[in-house]
Amino acid sequence: MVTALLTIVGYGGLDHVIAPDKNVNILVLDTEVYSNTGGQSSKATPVGAIAKFAASGKRVRKKDLGLMATTYGYVYVAQIAMGADQAQTLKAIREAEAYDGPSLIIAYAPCINHGLKKGMGKSQAEEKEAVACGYWHLWRYNPALEAEGKNPFTLDSKEPDWSKFQDFLKGEVRFASVAKQYPAEAAELFAAAEENAKWRLRSYKRMAAENWDVEA
């Protein structure tokens, strides 16, 4: 399923599927827009990106669907990018399959609406760059670890090279168009996009550092 569908009009349906604690596996392809209906902006669209209904760049941060799902405490959740780390991708899929309960895997999925300057044939390379610069983060939340007194949240991403973040944005037309059409606002929006990515990573780091030892 595509993220935009599940973060807005389909979110209630997704929530109803994972809430009953049934053994079901869900894979979400995060294209960050309504891909099937022409690329409209959604709650999954990041700050600064141009999309239909956000012609001058979206102004608020995207919804963290995965983190919301972890609040149930019994849903296996992972965020992956195959082009960035195939081993982490396979590990997440295997863990989700093995977990006796609902699982939700969110995969970063470059889309034609992103306007990759290097071309869609390089989408795997784009995923790698997205993780390397901090635009996208890899993590897993496995509730089964809690019973062992272990932290269920694992941050798999390495420390990003933030110096590459702005160049990553400019490599996609959805961002580059903002700089071309609205140069006065682009710098502010792109800075906000980078700060939002850093803010999200700080949240993940805090979760990964929590002590879940029942005797602590």
* Residue-range domain boundaries for the chain: 3-208
| Confidence bin at 46 (pLDDT 50/70/90) | low
- pLDDT of res. 56: 44
Nearest partner of 157 among 210, 212, 197, judged by Cα: 197
Fold of 3-208: Rossmann fold (3.40.50)
The pTM is what?
0.84
pLDDT tens figures, 14-40: 888 999 989 999 999 988 755 444 444
Instruction: Return all residues near 29 (Cβ < 8 A) that are at least 6 apart.
Output: 1, 2, 3, 107, 109
> Can you point out the beta strands (E) in 1-46?
25-30
